[in-house]
Amino acid sequence: MTKETGVEKTLALIKPDAIRNGDTANILQKIELKGFTIVTRSRIQLTPERAGEFYAEHKGKPFYDNLVNFMSSGPLMALVLAKSDAILAWRSLMGPTNSLKAREEAPKSLRALYGTDGTCNATHGSDSVASACREIRFFFPKLVQDPLPDSTGAKDFVARELQPTLVKCLTTLCKVKPTANKLEAITWVANWLLDNNPNKPRPLAEAEAGLLEGEEEEDEYPVSEADAGEEGVDKMEEELAATRLQSHFRGYQTRKTMKAKNSAAPVVVQQVETTAEDEQAAAVKVQSLYRGHKARKTVKEKKAAQA
Q: What is the pLDDT of residues 156-196, one digit of tens each?
A: 778 888 888 889 999 999 989 888 898 988 999 999 988 88
pLDDT at 142: 87
Q: What is the pLDDT of residues 109-148, one digit of tens each?
A: 999 999 999 889 999 999 999 999 999 999 999 887 655 5
Q: What is the pLDDT of residues 246-298, one digit of tens each?
A: 666 666 667 777 777 666 655 554 455 656 666 667 666 767 777 777 777 88
Q: State whether 19 and 106 are in the same domain.
A: yes
Q: State whether 130 and 209 are in the same domain.
A: no
Contact indicator for 80, 65 with CB cutoff of 8 Å: no
**Percent share of the chain, pLDDT over 90:** 45
Contact indicator for 110, 95 with CB cutoff of 8 Å: yes
Residue where a domain terminates, one of 118, 139, 160 = 139
Residue 230 lies in a domain: yes
Residue 247 lies in a domain: yes
Phi, psi of 200 (to 5 degrees): -95, 120
Catalytic residue among 58, 124, 248, 293: 124
- Tell me the one-letter amino acid at 275: T
Residue where a domain terminates, one of 113, 139, 165 = 139
Phi, psi of 42 (to 5 degrees): -155, 135
Report how far residue 95's alpha carbon sits from residue 54's, in angstroms, rounded to the nearest whole number.
Answer: 21
Domain of 60, CATH number, reads: 3.30.70.141
Q: State whether 118 and 213 are in the same domain.
A: no
Residue where a domain terminates, one of 94, 113, 139 = 139
* Number of domains making up the chain: 2
Q: State whether 14 and 126 are in the same domain.
A: yes
Q: State whether 32 and 129 are in the same domain.
A: yes
Domain ranges, residue 44:
7-139
What are the binding residues for ATP? 15, 63, 91, 97, 111, 121
* Whole-angstrom Cα Rg for the chain: 34
Residue 293 lies in a domain: no
Active-site annotation holds for 124: yes
